[in-house]
Every structure is written in structure tokens, then in C-alpha cells.
Structure 1
Amino acid sequence: MKITIGNDHLTLEDFKKILFEDANIEIGNKAAKRVEKCYNFLEDFTKNKLIYGINTGFGPMAQYRIEEEEQTQLQYNLIRSHTTGMGNPISPVFVKSLMVARLNTLLKGYSGVHPELVELLCEYINNDVLPVIYEHGSVGASGDLVQLSHLALSLIGEGKVTDLKGNIQNTQHVIEELGLEPFRIRLREALALMNGTSAMTGVGIVNAIHAQNLMNWSILASAMIVELVESFDDHYSYELNAVKLHEGQAFVAKKMRSVLKDSTLVRSRREHHYEKKVTVNVLKEKMQEYYSIRCVPQILGPIHDTIEQVINVLIAEVNSVNDNPIVDAEREDVYHGGNFHGDYVSLEMDKLKTAITKLSMLSERQLNYLLNDKLNQILPPFVNLGKLGFNLGMQGAQFVATSTVAENQTLSFPMYVHSIPNNNDNQDIVSMGSNAALLASKVIENTFQILAVEFLTIIQAVDYLGFEDKLSSCSKRVYQQLRELVPVFSNDSIMYPKIGAVKEYLYNTTIDITSKGCKMESTVETNAEFEMEVECCPV
């Protein structure tokens, strides 16, 4: 599979194919011509003119003019001086995403880079030559200077790179094996690589892809709980949800109806309460479920809408020109400004992590309902399939979910409003967009762990109630796939491999809920370590 980039806007589906389906990329002819035209114009335009970052210093030192014989070295100085990243290396898939984002920006033909730079960057992406980039360093104002400097460092043949499996090697050794030459800077390629929002945007796009998947898994978990409690069907009905005019609520309710359409466990309100005369004064069954079951469309609906808004902003950003200055070959001019500022991405990442935190809170409340026999009145305490008092069931697993939700709530403090002036007060108001994106990724990772505890509890509950053959076809399929990873257990055994195996399954399996049913596709092989540990544990 090959995707042409640069001629048209990149889409989220393009990113999914490049990042998770091993699609290669190629540079479109129109884009290549734009890059060449822009470079040729800038090379001529800079003669006898003062252009920021070519014959001046950077940031607050821009008042210093740089002699022609020092201009190339200036670019190398910029790269090496800013490779100050600290903390943990960010995930290789994030790095690949930010590289695609940066390449797409350069291909707009407003950056004045030499054509060989975009060609080399394309080769790096296709061969998974991914620079080691660290989590700490960007304030997201003059772009992601520190993180993107590590990208630039690898393109000049220095520093270290990794592949998608996390194997770290010296850049020079890797590119020599591939027959590639380090890039030789001509005009302003260092500044063009570093002075943009591609790190925060690349991380954000991966976040959005995972967030979409979390949404679908949360809808499915909610639907399965509806089945477990043999709930009435009206709270997710078209009629009820259509009179509240929010797209996300209607979306969630529709997905729930798709999952539950062939379930034999859900009860009709009309059949049980309207067509039959109820004579008892005190109902044994609940008239309405707890909010974590009954209000799922209203809770997940705004989360869906937030994710869609995040995607729209990210795709606009990734298809924008976001460095400085802007080199306009058509108008034969160079414009100085602030397109590198990351406020758009920062705000959306804060919205996303807040929304996903709420999703994790819903999951934790649903989990608590299943584990508390006094609430559900149909399951043993902690869905314990062994001897009560002697065995503990899912009791220990609840602590993981509860504590992780608490961490999500703390991480949801916004970065967008946490500006700290720096750079001799040249950058006097900043976005912190890269921090926001990375914190959002942590919240997303945490939430997959929380959902893993919930799903493990759900399938244990299915077995206790003997409901496997009564589940909807979608629920039954997921139940069976999870049971292949974690067989039913009643005796106590080591729990973390079970939770880990379910988390890996959810994280690496894309679920699509349609009117025709549920489609599930794995993006990577199942984690063999978790598989092995589950097999060796007594159950």
C-alpha cells in the first residue's frame, strides 16, 4: 500500500494506514515542484536582504546579523544547541506520526527547504528510521523546538534513532546500512524543521485515533452491562434520544442499538410495564437503572463530540504551514509572524484528556456497580466465582481502576492556561502544547487499563450468570475472544497478566460498531509475554 502525500490534504485515515497498516508514502509531483520552486525563490531572494533565521540570529538574538560564510554553520548550531530533550523517549509511533506531520507541512512549499530534505525525510519514514525524541523540552510557542531538533539531528546523520520495536542505534550506522547520506544544509532547513507544531500534532493524531477506539470499547462495555442486568430498552431508544438535539448522544444511542439488536437479555418497557398490568405495590426489579447504565448516551455523547472536534483541529493543523517565516514564492515575498504557536493543538489536547478522564470515570462507576453485590443484587461480591471469604475475585483489581482514575483526574489539569514566559521574555506567552499532548496520551493509556479491568469483570459476570448464549452476537464475539486470552477463573491466581492481556487486546484491536454488527481488527500481534504468563497461571 502506498499513499501519495503533499498534493492533497492528509486525512486521519491516511495516518491510520501509515502508522498502523504499514503503508509507505511517496511525495506527490505537484508538491515536489512547489518545494523546488520555493527553494529556488528563497535562494535568490535572500541576496542583499535581511531574513530572520538565515542571516540573523534566532529569537531574542535576531538583532545580530550573521555573515554569509557563517550562515550554514548557524543552522547546525541551532540543531545541536537545542537537542536538550530529557525524560523518557516518546513512543516510536508518536515519532513516526510527527515525522509525517512535519513532512506534510514542508511539502506545502512555504518553507524554503531544499528538495533533498523532503526526499530524505520520506526515506526515513518508509524505513522506520525514527529519531529518539524525549518527552520534556517543548513549550510549544516557537513550535516544538527541542523535540524537533532531535528530528533534525538525525537527518544530518547524528544522534540516535530507533525502529518501531524500540531498538536504538546510532543514526550514522543505520543510514549507512540503508545507503542514505546525511542531509547537507543549504539555507534554513534547520529552522524549517524545528520551528513548527509537528511534535504536538503528531502525538495528538495518535491520541485521537486511540480515543476513537476507546469510545467504541466504552460503548460496547456499557451495552454488555445493559445485557447483564437485563435492562429495559428505552434509555438508548431512538425516540428518547432524538428529542435531545446533540449529535454525540444520538451517535452513542445508535451504536448501543446496533450492539443490542439481537440480544435476548434486554427487556421491552412496553411489554413489561405497559401491555401488562402491574399490581404489586413494591417492585422487585428496578424501574430505572443507575445513571452509569441509564445515562450512557448523555455521558459518552459529549465525549464523542469532543473527539470529533479534536480531529478537525488536528487535521487542519497538520495540513497547515506552521513555521516562521513563511516563504511565498507565488507573491515573491517572505512573511514573519507566529504560525508556529501551538495554542490550537494545546487547547484540543486539554479538552481530549478531560473528556477521556470522564470516560474512565464512567468505566470505574460501572465496574463498581458490578463488584458491589448490594447495588446489582445479581452477582456475588467482587464477581467472585470461588468460595466467598476464601477467594477474593476481582477485589484487588478494583484498586487498580480506582487509583488510575484518580491519576487521570489529576492529569486533567489544563496545560493550555499554564503559560510560563521564557527565552528572555521573547516567548512571553506560550502554549505548552506538547506537554498537553503527552499528558493526554498518558490519560488515554491509563483508560485502556481501566477498561481492561471492567471487561475482565464483565466476562466473569457472564460466566456466573450463564449468559454467554443469550448475549448479542457482538457481545458474544468479544466475550469469546477475551476468553481465549483469559479463561474463566474461580481460584485466586496472579492477576496482573490477566489484566495486561485484556488491556493489550483492547489497545491493539480496532472495533467498529455499525448497523451490520461489530468489526474487529488487530493492529499488532498480541503481546506474547502476557499470553505466556496467562497460560502458566493456575486458574
Structure 2
Amino acid sequence: MTQIIVQPTGVTPADVLAVARGDARVEIATETVTAMATSREIVDRIEASGRPVYGVSTGFGALANTSIAPERRAELQHALIRSHAAGIGAPMPREVVRAMMLLRLRSLALGRSGVRPRLAQGLADLLNHDITPWVPEHGSLGASGDLAPLAHCAIVLLGEGWVIGKDGARIAAAEALHRAGLEPLELAAKEGLALINGTDGMLGMLLLAIDDAEHLFAMADVTAALAIEAMLGSERPFLPELHEIRPHPGQSASAANILKLLQGSTIMDSHRDDLAHAVQDAYSMRCAPQVAGAARDTLDFVRTVAARELVSVVDNPVVLPDGRVESTGNFHGAPLGFAADFLAIAAAEVGAIAERRVDRLLDVTRNRQLPPFLSPDAGVNSGLMIAQYTAAGIVAENRRLASPASVDSLPTSGMQEDHVSMGWAATKKLRTVLDNLTSLLAVELISAVRGLQLREPLVPSAAGRAAIAALEPSAGRPGPDLFLAPALEEARSVVAGRALRAEIEDAIGPLR
């Protein structure tokens, strides 16, 4: 277990991954505590002055003009959390909730929210004691931030609500705090609002998706190269000089990967100078870098958006160093929603072109002398026929999921919040698209491996040999049909994991 220290400047994407997926311990720097305490002093002075300030001495949303008596302001903050913890549905994954809590802590640590340091420490305590709030999947519109999901986290600090037990069961938050030796918190003015008014859920999911997409786009180059090799494709479309004349950086990187992956193959050597060989391969082979490369460039854009959000103050109102408390719209998730929708479109197309290569590999009229459906005894046996059906169904689902969520605004809160981002929905469905992409690449991987096996005694590339070794224990050799689902599940694990990629890179050098 590692440790990350939350500074007044926030955290890094690597910090978020370490906490969300690596269970890193969270500590709060002394400078961060000082910044929060200074900000809190300003709120205390304003509250004492009696001046009306949104969220400090007034109600929320459409009730912003309702004045709250001083003796009821703490009650106001607790009521806010209870009323806004109004989500419904299955619980969000543990990694998403952990990312969300760290990011809310990060926002408080920037010293613009006017909360006591103990509030941030409360979130750190939940993370460090492995207490994961039960956050339902439905409830956020992405403005004002992820209100309901963050309220389900915040209510646990009060000793209320639910958490996810070790066995996945729902247990009372009070019981979980007691077991960990933690006491519920009492909120002061503005603190309830500061706990829920941010983009932390959608940003957390986006950061996790960026990490997944980065790996999957590299694996898409691997499976594409293996499929091209198995179909006796040409390596010439991937020569660097052909991509220098269209200088999209992602395209050049993807082409360089595929070219490198095809080296050292006697399968490729067998037809390189064959005049009867096709002059041009199909688009799904020849244009692989143009599609996967465009997805890489989209990912670069999304990474930039996430990096900006990581250093942003996403609260309302915010406490400025000169003593002013100003309302903002920084909680609006449009930047993240747009980015997630864009990346979902790109990832869906990476999967769609992979499915087209699978279909080509299985079709005896287009796969260049491989048997129908990659079965040596087609007829009695169906080979990988239905695996392609599965891939086609997933492509169709990804097409639906690629429809942008960020254009689906619905007004809420008595028309006070009359435009919302739907960023939570956009980032949530992006994760589904990437999970589906994992399955599509798994089908391409197992199809390419079977094609390479059927090219024996020709020897495949180093990447091909590594892939065959990884899949043969579950997928076997070409022959009679077998129960295919376990082999596909293992192929999914191979694509999602990092072991095959590491083995390939050890043999041929790093992929871009």
C-alpha cells in the first residue's frame, strides 16, 4: 500500500488511481490544513455579521431567497445532506466511490470552500478505514455537480445512510463507523453544501476511464496487427513516411505500433513479394491507424480537460482570499460531459472496426485460404461463428451508448437549475463502452490467434507467439468445437490485464 499526501494544490491523476484502485492511504498536508482553516475564518466572520450569503444563511436552489435563522443553520446543513441523498438503484463500483471521495477532499483542500479541516479529515478517515458509502447509480444530473451521489457519501460522515460491506451487502453507516472507531461529524454553516456541490463523481469516472482507454487503445493495435498477420495482410500501409504526410500524432503512433508488431513473422515473409497478393487490403485492415489514431487524439483532448478540472475549484459559493463569498457556476459538468461523450464515440469506433476484422477473418471468401469460421472441420463444427454474433451485438449496443448524454438537459429545482450537464450519465456510459470494447478486442484476439495457429508451420510474430501462449490453455488448438464462453472470458481477462502487453513489449520494445 502506498500513501498520497493531499496538498493545497490538490492531487494528480496517478493519486486518484492509487486511492481508487490501489487502496493507497490518504494524508492531508499541514499546508492544506492551514489553507482550509484560513478559508473557514472568513465564513465564520460572515456568519457572525448577519449578512445574507447563499448556503450560509439562506436555503438552497429555488429556496435561495429564504433566510435561515442563526440557530437553525447547522440544522440546515444536516437537512441538506439527508434530503439530497435521494439516489436510487444499484450501488456504484467501489473504485468510483473512492475516487469521488478523494476528489471531494481535493476540492476542499484548495481552500476556497470555507470548511473546517476536520471535514476533509473525515473523508480521509473513510478512505483509510476502507469504508465505502453505498452510492446509488441514479440521482445526478451533473449540475449542481453530482449532488445526490456526493450526498450519499456525506451522509455517512453523519453516521447515517449505508455503506458497502465486505461481502457486498448493505450495512448501516453508524455500525461501520463504530467498528472503525470513528465518530459521526456535526456540520457547521456551509459545510453540507461544500460536501456535495462538485463534479467529483463524473471527474472520478472520467479519470478511471482515461486509464482504461489508454491501455485498451494500445491493445487495439495489438489485436489489429495479429488479425492483419493472420489474414496475410500487407505491412506497407503502416510505413512511417505514409503517416508523416498526414501528421495526426495518434495515427502515427498507432501505425508505428502495428508495423513493429508485424516484424519477425514468417507469415508476413511468405507473401511479401507475391504478385498475386491483393494490391490493397480492406479498410478495416489498412485504415486501422486512422481510426485508432483518431481515438488516441480524442483521448489526449479528454486528458487535457480532466487535468484542468483537477486544479479547478468546483464549489458554490466560493470563498475568495479577499474575504468575498461569491456564487459561481463552476459545478456545471459540461466540460466533462462533452469530453466523455466524445471519448465514448471514439472508443465505440475502435470496437466497431475490430468487429469488421473479426467478420473478415471468419469469412472463407475473404480470409485468404483460412477455413470457414476458422474451423478445420466446418459443417459439423461452427468454429467462431457465434463469437462474431456476440461481437456484432456489442457493437450495436455501443452505437446506442455513443449517442451523447450531454445534449439531454432537463430543468430542475423550480427552474432555478434550468440547464444541467448530464455529465454523470455521460461518464457512466463511457465506462460501459470501454467495458464493451474490452469484450470486442477479446473476440478479435481469440479469432486472430486461431488464424495464426491455422497458418502453421509458418511462424508468427513475437506478439503472435505471445498471444497464442496466453490463450491456448483456455482456447485450445484448432479442432472440434468446445464450450466457447470460458475461452472468451479468459481472452477478456488477457485484454484487460497488463501481462500480455508487458510480454510483447519485452520482446519488441515499448508500444506507443
* Same-fold call, TM cutoff 0.5: yes
State the 1:365 CA deviation: 0.5
In the alignment of these two chains, the number of paired residues is 507
1:155 is matched with which residue?
A: 157
CA 1:66–1:159 in structure 2 vs 1: closer, same or farther (change >3 Å)?
same
Give, in whole Å, the separation in 1 of the partners of 2:266 and 2:24.
Answer: 42
1:146 maps onto 2:148 in alignment: yes
Instruction: Please list the CA deviations of residues 323-376 of structure 1 after superposition, one character each: whole Å capped at 9, or x if unmatched.
Output: 100112x21111112111110001001101111110110111011111111111
SS of residue paired to 1:46: helix
State the 1:28 CA deviation: 2.0
Counterpart of 1:400 (choices 366, 377, 390) is: 390
Instruction: Please list the CA deviations of residues 305-332 of structure 1 after superposition, one character each: whole Å capped at 9, or x if unmatched.
Output: 111111111121122110100112x211
Instruction: Please list the CA deviations of residues 110-131 of structure 1 after superposition, one character each: whole Å capped at 9, or x if unmatched.
Output: 1111111111211212232111
1:17 is matched with which residue?
A: 18
1:415 maps onto 2:405 in alignment: yes
SS of residue paired to 1:227: helix
1:363 maps onto 2:365 in alignment: no
2:4 is matched with which residue?
A: 3
Instruction: Please list the CA deviations of residues 454-510 of structure 1 after superposition, one character each: whole Å capped at 9, or x if unmatched.
Output: 11212222222226x723323322331222343336333332222122213322437
Query: Counterparts of 1:357-506 in structure 2 under 5 Å?
Result: 357-385=348-376, 387-466=377-456, 470-488=459-477, 490-506=479-495
Asked whether the equivalents of residues 92 and 164 of structure 1 are also in contact (C-alpha less than 8 Å), the reply is no
State the 1:260 CA deviation: 2.9
Deviates more, 1:338-347 or 1:183-192: 183-192
Instruction: Please list the CA deviations of residues 277-332 of structure 1 after superposition, one character each: whole Å capped at 9, or x if unmatched.
Output: x6xxxx2x21121111111111111100111111111121122110100112x211
Give, in whole Å, the separation in 2 of the partners of 1:494 and 1:268.
Answer: 33
Structure 2: gaps of 5 or more residues: none
Deviates more, 1:123-132 or 1:133-142: 123-132
Give, in whole Å, the separation in 1 of the partners of 2:415 and 2:173.
Answer: 35
Give, in whole Å, the separation in 2 of the partners of 1:59 and 1:295.
Answer: 50
1:32 is matched with which residue?
A: 33
Give, in whole Å, the separation in 1 of the partners of 2:342 and 2:165.
Answer: 31
1:51 is matched with which residue?
A: 53
SS of residue paired to 2:365: helix
Give, in whole Å, the separation in 1 of the partners of 2:17 and 2:214.
Answer: 12
Give, in whole Å, the separation in 2 of the partners of 1:163 and 1:317.
Answer: 31
State the 1:175 CA deviation: 1.8
TM-score with structure 1 setting the length? 0.89
1:198 is matched with which residue?
A: 200
Structure 1: gaps of 5 or more residues: 521-539
State the 1:65 CA deviation: 0.3
State the 1:7 CA deviation: 4.0
TM-score with structure 2 setting the length? 0.94
Asked whether the equivalents of residues 231 and 267 of structure 1 are also in contact (C-alpha less than 8 Å), the reply is no
CA 1:61–1:166 in structure 2 vs 1: closer, same or farther (change >3 Å)?
same
Instruction: Please list the CA deviations of residues 506-526 of structure 1 after superposition, one character each: whole Å capped at 9, or x if unmatched.
Output: 224374686973679xxxxxx
CA 1:8–1:164 in structure 2 vs 1: closer, same or farther (change >3 Å)?
farther
Give, in whole Å, the separation in 1 of the partners of 2:509 and 2:104.
Answer: 35
Instruction: Please list the CA deviations of residues 228-280 of structure 1 after superposition, one character each: whole Å capped at 9, or x if unmatched.
Output: 133332211111111111111111112223323433433499x727xxxx6xx
2:280 is matched with which residue?
A: 288
Counterpart of 1:232 (choices 231, 234, 253) is: 234
1:73 is matched with which residue?
A: 75
Asked whether the equivalents of residues 231 and 451 of structure 2 are also in contact (C-alpha less than 8 Å), the reply is no
Amino acid of the structure 2 residue aligned with 1:30: E
Amino acid of the structure 1 residue aligned with 2:75: Q
Give, in whole Å, the separation in 1 of the partners of 2:166 and 2:300.
Answer: 27
1:319 maps onto 2:319 in alignment: no
CA 1:518–1:182 in structure 2 vs 1: closer, same or farther (change >3 Å)?
farther
Give, in whole Å, the separation in 2 of the partners of 1:201 and 1:6.
Answer: 19
Instruction: Please list the CA deviations of residues 6-25 of structure 1 after superposition, one character each: whole Å capped at 9, or x if unmatched.
Output: 24453323333333333222
1:530 is matched with which residue?
A: none
SS of residue paired to 1:112: coil
SS of residue paired to 1:373: coil
Instruction: Please list the CA deviations of residues 70-114 of structure 1 after superposition, one character each: whole Å capped at 9, or x if unmatched.
Output: 111111111111121112222111111111211111111111111
Give, in whole Å, the separation in 2 of the partners of 1:124 and 1:327.
Answer: 26
Counterpart of 1:255 (choices 254, 257, 260) is: 257
